[in-house]
Amino acid sequence: MKYISTRGEAPSLNFEDVLLTGLASDGGLYVPETLPEYSLDEIRSWRGLPYHELAFRILKPFVDGAIPDDEFATMLKDTYGVFGHKAVAPLAQIDHNEFVLELFQGPTLAFKDFALQLLGRLLDHVLEKRGERVVIMGATSGDTGSAAIEGCKRCKNIDIFILHPHNRVSEVQRRQMTTIAGDNIHNLAIDGNFDDCQSMVKASFGDQSFLRGERRLVAVNSINWARIMAQIVYYFYASLNLGGPDREMAFSVPTGNFGDIFAGYLARKMGLPIGQLIVATNQNDILHRVMSNNVYEKHPLAHTLSPSMDIVVSSNFERLLFDLYDRDGAVLNDLMRRLNTDAVTLDEARLAKARDVFDSYAVNDDVTVETIRTVFDETGYLLDPHTAIGVKAARETRRSAINPMITLGTAHPVKFAPAVERAGLKTPELPHHLTDLMEREERYTVLPNELQRVQAYVTDAVFG
Ligand SMILES: *Cc1c(COP(=O)(O)O)cnc(C)c1O
């Protein structure tokens, strides 16, 4: 399978190279040139498969020979074998025909484990084969960093540097990153905010000369195609467990960078009957504003109780726009450039195509807290603030009472104590494998908010 850039100018790549790349050289994002499509009969034949076997069937065409089938099957079994629940992605029912898909059973208790546990293993395989070493650099406000470190901690051929804003991530989230021991793991606490961290990572990808041409940087954010790909699987899994493909499903997805929900859109294009996809945002609602009013415009960042969805722009929205604009890279190039400075209006007919399946809804902190409380009172089930936003959006925008409504449960509530406490509820216990998290030894280095200091640190650690 070939991968092409949304901006039409970068060379097309095979799976291995797309795995080892961040942004395309033209500033775009890589997407598959074509998607596999399945009949209802084929999808039906996957009923009852364990998660990793379903993953093998769905992901094999994307990996396309880069890894021998038997090794890929074993890799997937290992990847999803580390999850804390035998069903990997179990469904919890919270009302008539309404469900939460629990995507927080992985080692770091958020859905990012689904992709990053696999990404670490994919990278390890490909790098070993090529005899190559790479450097991972990523910025995190919490969930991405711990999931990336957990996913890559065993990879001999990767040095991983995760930047987080010093004193601005929760203690559980920080400890999930800083207590993982390994000579190849580097936690950098930056005296700045998340944007500062992200800017330094972006600048480093833009000019990699500090790595002396001897190493390349690999991205672990959802710019990386492999992350999106891994997330397609659980849409099929949830559907098959609720009577799909013979019933249409609706999914509500707590959204930041549009990565998770874009995977749902791809599942639909591959043939899974999905009647509705709900873009659920917090107060950082650029996606809700474009979906409802057709203005795509940056607003300043707001800090909310659902920090993993605190974004200014949604990078993966570009992948959807590419489809809406008939995969015309030149048009996308122009559109994305204008967005840097202006409010952009989309072509109404093209936006209407998106609205056939997408709805959107924005939820503020007060309503998030209220939803956590309401669902707890109704069912005894405790939602994390991100998932609560998904549930609220589902209840406000649901189109069909007949189609099962599935909200993606993106994180475990134990990671987000402030929201749970504001709802007047007790933060739950840490799961079994993390009970001693608060006692474990931490390792991180505090650095000033200066690109040169950070890059010098990386160079020094890599080339020592
Ligand atoms: C990353 C994250 C999200 C947002 O996912 P996107 O793919 O960026 O839309 C939502 N909830 C939680 C808990 C996350 O960690």
Query: pLDDT tens, 337-392?
Result: 998 888 999 999 999 999 999 999 999 999 999 999 999 999 999 999 999 999 99
For 145-160, write each residue's pLDDT tens digit: 999 999 999 898 999 9
Which CATH number, 3.40.50.1950, 3.40.50.1100, 3.30.565.10, 3.90.1170.50, labels domain 112-223+432-464?
Answer: 3.40.50.1100
| Percent of the chain clearing pLDDT 70 (strictly above) | 100
Torsion of CA 282, 284, 285, 287, to 10 degrees: -110
Q: Give the mean pLDDT of 315-333.
A: 96
> What separation in Å is there between the alpha carbon of 128 and the centre of ligand 1?
30
Residue ranges covered by each domain of the chain: 86-107+232-422, 112-223+432-464
Our mutation pick for probing the ligand 1 site, out of 29, 102, 111, counting the most ligand atoms within 8 A of Cβ, is 111
Cα(151)–Cα(128) distance, rounded to whole angstroms? 16
- 164-203 pLDDT, tens digit each: 999 988 888 899 999 998 899 999 999 998 889 989 999 9
Side chain identity, residue 397: T
Q: Which pTM value belongs to this model?
A: 0.96
Work out the angle at residue 256's Cα, subtended by the Cα atoms of residues 253 and 261, and round it to the nearest 5 degrees. Answer: 35
Residues having CB closer than 6 A to ligand 1 are 110, 112, 143, 222, 254-260, 308-309, 386, 410-411
Domain 86-107+232-422 has CATH 3.40.50.1100: yes
CA distance 453 to 455: 6
Average pLDDT over residues 299-321: 93
Contact 267, 235 (CB under 8 A): yes
Cα-to-centroid distance, 463 and ligand 1 (Å): 34
Element of type H or E holding 337: helix 329-339
What are the residue ranges of helices labelled H in 110-252? 112-130, 143-152, 171-178, 194-206, 225-241
Same fold: 86-107+232-422 with 112-223+432-464: yes
